[in-house]
Amino acid sequence: MKQNRFKEKFTTELQIDKKEFIEKFSREFEHSDIDFFSEFLKSLSLRKRNKSLIGTIRKDTFKIKRNSTMNSFNYATAIAKGEISESENGTIIETKINGFDYGFIPLYTILGIVFFVSFIGMFGDFQFIIGVFISSGIYLYTRNKMLKDLKKLRIELTKTLENVSG
């Protein structure tokens, strides 16, 4: 089975009642839809957000990401989706984090075309090497940014779950 570096799964078992967990957990983040338009409109707002996580929680599921603004370099790409279930000992949370933002597909398509044209053109005129470096640099920056964001969300979510149970 091929491992995807942009996805991560983990299970957490907490010694707390499911209803109590949902009540406490919902206080730990700002309730907001996680989609491009909602985030774009909130980034234009002058109101400062105080919570480090944003998302939604339902009866048995949640969808959360790190709080960020669209117009800065710290735009959060990773999204955690979780299922909450009850067990004999308390509550079990199965979490899947996806670090790849599908909004970057058009950018990667353009970068691929620029890289390919620049690479082929480099054999005729050496000035095309600039296109190779720029497209490669942007690709590597966004890729590493997504991987770092996945790790940051995992750490933030783990801390939040520990705070809720303790």
Domain extents in the chain: 7-165
Instruction: Note if the pTM is more than 0.85.
Output: no
Contact of 93 with 11, CB cutoff 8 Å: yes
What DSSP string runs through 17-74?
-HHHHHHHHHTSSEE---SHHHHHHHHH--SPP--SEEEEE-SSEEEEEE---TTSTT
Mean pLDDT of the chain: 82
Torsions phi, psi for 58 (to 5 deg): -115, -170
Which residues pair with residue 81 across a beta bridge?
A: 63, 96
Whether the pLDDT of residue 36 is over 70: the answer is no
Give tens-digit pLDDT for 49-59: 667 788 888 88
What pLDDT is attached to residue 1?
43
* Separation of alpha carbons 11 and 30, rounded Å: 23
